[in-house]
Amino acid sequence: MSHEAETITTDFLVIGSGIAGLRAAIELSAAGSVVLLAKERLNESNTEWAQGGIAVALSDEDEVSLHYEDTLRAGVGLCSPDAVRVLVEEGVRYITELIDWGTEFDRNGVHLSFSKEAAHSRSRVLHVHGDSTGREIIRVLLKKALASRNVVLKPHCFSLDLVVEDGLVWGAWFLDEPARRVRKVLARSTVLASGGAGQVYSETTNPDLATGDGQAMAHRAGAVLADMEFFQFHPTALFLQGAPRFLLTEAIRGEGGYLRNIDCERFMPKYHEMADLAPRDVVSRAIVAEMKRSGSNFAYLDLTHLDAELIKRRFPKVYATCQSYNIDITVDMIPTHPAAHYLMGGIKTDLWGRTSLRNLYAAGEVACTGVHGANRLASNSLLEGLVYGARAGRAAASEKHGPVPASVASKAREFPRDSPDLTRIRETKKVMQRLMWEKVGILRDGRDLKEALRHLLHLGSHFKMSSTSRAECELVNLVTVAELMIVSAMAREESRGAHYRADYPCRSDQKLQKHSVISNASHVDFVDLNSPESVREAPVAR
């Protein structure tokens, strides 16, 4: 691995330090040198915030085939069956590997403890310290990655754009924030694992760093993205004035928690046969309907009928957080409201993480494997990051690209260095987030979508990628992702899963049981679930 003043040369580049990025880096480390760029601290990502757990068919009462069927059912006809089969079958192996590496999942005695979440037919969700699963997994993967001499992990490095020549990706430009300069990583293969885009909405459970950077970079480079209209809204986030939208894990309802309206009445049984454990899209729309009916701006999550010691032990992070706002969840009902949670679309990949651009792979929330369909099954996201992060690493390691052409190595790029107007950037971001929440949120229609697109394009026209302002770059990325979401939502003239259009309230399986795909031409096409364009399989040697 060679280092120059402005350029780093390595075999493999990984962008993102969540579960997918770290697992990819570990897989790649056996095949060559790896540089991993983390936007913030090495252990800060969406994964770290994951409370509920990770789903896997490991208990004696469960079967891989049941996990497969539950995932397909939750995806409302839009999951790619081959991608789901890979997830549930290989998930068993990769979870076992995590345990072997020292992940301390909760246990009852010597046996793993499994909980049940919405739309699962069995108790199959593993968790750590009740509601700190993501943090523990990151601890173990980070320790494993740091133990490898081949892996260099660089925190506080904000990726700006991919290095592309003739449709081939040879690394990325990034803002080295500690050094306050733009640098370049040259690599034979690049794995994008930069996470989600929850900050596109004013109401979100995602941390500030979830600004859609990977999706936007790939789009600017010409990669194909898919299913961008499907953004999952978590039904239950803490709703208090001035407080962040802290996630109230679905496992709370799995343990017997109830949703109640402002009149303290349970309402989910009248909306779905699974009541409080209905799929997330159903629960979110039911909460919105109850709020609209009663004129309130929140609903309640009620745990007060459950054993107090069980609640404290099972959900220590939720208990402590609510306690800090003077809410004792063992005796007080929790005010709650849906919030943007997980982007089910992303950079379109095959089953090995390959994208439409040579040398570029993607895994985790930044990618769209077809696993989640129109409505992600609870706790499948960590599993997808784990399984497909490993697979993307295997593919990148086995498919020898390079060396990096001399024309690319000598290539320079100028980023604007204007002094940013941070006040204007912050105000524009807030306007965009409110626009997306109100017009492209849980309930949509064609008129609102067109109006949102018109306003969005006007808002974004005043900003550009800048080497001196990460805030401005993040805003450009968010506007890019928002545009892709709106254009895709306009094209899907039906209601399916998390995408609900009041002007097209029914499913259209005959026409639209397909994946939407969009490229840099901003034109949406629809492809069959298992067409060669949608998913392709190829053997990769381990």
For residues 26 and 153, state if they share a domain.
yes
Model confidence at 348: pLDDT above 60: yes
Query: How would residue 3 be classed by pLDDT, with cut points 50, 70 and 90?
Result: very low
pLDDT at 1 over 70: no
Q: Could you tell me which residue, 468 or 492, shows the higher pLDDT? A: 492
Q: What is the CATH number of the domain that holds 282?
A: 3.90.700.10
Q: How far is CA 314 from CA 8, 120, 133, 199, 350, in A?
A: 45, 19, 12, 29, 38
Segment 253-277 shows an average pLDDT of 94
Is 291 found in the same domain as 385? no
Domain that holds residue 309: 247-339
Last residue in a domain, options 280, 311, 339: 339
Residues 28 and 149 in one domain: yes
What integer pLDDT is reported at residue 48 of this predicted model? 67
Q: How confident is the model at residue 247 (pLDDT cuts 50, 70, 90)?
A: confident
Please determine, for residue 532, whether its predicted confidence score (pLDDT) is greater than 60.
no
Kindly report the number of other CB atoms within 10 A of residue 349's CB atom: 30
Please write the tens of the pLDDT for every residue from 183-200: 999 999 999 999 999 999
> CA–CA separation, 377 vs 120, rounded Å?
8
Count the neighbouring beta carbons within 10 Å of the beta carbon of residue 261.
20
Residue 114 in domain: yes
Tokens at residue 345, please? 């679309």
172 occurs within a structural domain: yes
- Active-site entry in 245, 253, 280, 376: 280
| Token pair in block for residue 460 | 């974004």
pLDDT tens, residue by residue, 80-96: 999 999 999 999 999 99
Q: Is the dihedral of CA 175, 181, 182, 187 positive or negative?
A: negative
Whether 26 and 54 map to the same domain: the answer is yes
Q: Which residues are within 8 A (CB) of 501 and not within 5 positions of it... i.e. 6 or more apart?
A: 444, 445, 446, 489, 492, 493, 494, 495
Contacts of 465 (CB under 8 A, 6+ apart): 160, 161, 415, 416, 472, 473, 476
Per-residue confidence (pLDDT) for residue 538, from 0 to 100: 41
For residue range 141-182, list pLDDT tens digits in order.
999 999 999 999 999 999 999 999 999 999 999 999 988 889
| 100-109, 114-123, 210-219: range with lowest mean pLDDT | 114-123
> To the nearest 10°, the Cα dihedral for 143, 145, 148, 152?
-120
Q: Are 364 and 21 in contact (CB under 8 A)?
A: yes
Question: Which SS3 state, helix, strand or coil, does residue 405 take?
Answer: coil
> Does residue 330 lie in a domain region?
yes
**Distances in Å between the alpha carbon of 248 and those of 191, 204, 326, 330, 462?**
31, 12, 16, 14, 37
| First CA to last CA distance, the chain | 23
- Looking at the structure of the chain, the number of domains it has is 3
The model's pLDDT over 427-441, given as tens digits with 9 standing for 90+, comes to 999 999 999 999 999
Q: How far apart are CA 227 and CA 373, in angstroms?
A: 8
Q: In what order do the strands lie in the sheet with 334-343?
A: 231-238, 334-343, 299-302, 258-260
The answer to whether residue 444 is catalytic is: no
365 plus 319 within the same structural domain: no
325: in domain: yes
- Give pLDDT, residue 219: 97
Residue 442: which CATH number? 1.20.58.100
Q: Please give the pLDDT value at position 530.
A: 66
Q: Are residues 358 and 330 in the same domain?
A: no
326 and 440, same domain (yes or no)? no
Which pLDDT does position 10 carry in this prediction?
96
Same domain, 224 and 261: no
Q: Are strands 181-192 and 2-3 parallel, antiparallel or unpaired?
A: unpaired
Look at residue 308 and tell me if it is in a domain.
yes
Q: Would residue 534 count as lying in a domain?
A: no
Q: Of 315, 339, 363, which marks where a domain is finished?
A: 339
Examine residue 533 and state whether it is found in any structural domain, yes or no. no
117 band by pLDDT with thresholds 50, 70 and 90: confident
3-state secondary structure of 247: strand
Q: Does residue 535 lie in a domain region?
A: no
pLDDT given for residue 535 in this prediction: 36
* 405 and 353 share one domain: yes
* Confidence grade of residue 452 (pLDDT, cut at 50, 70, 90): very high
Give the mean model confidence (pLDDT) for residues 52-71: 94
**Helix 381-398 × helix 81-100 angle, to 10°:** 90
Q: Tell whether 353 and 460 lie within a shared domain.
A: no
Q: Looking at the structure, tell me whether residues 405 and 483 fall in a common domain.
A: no
Residues 178 and 261 in one domain: no
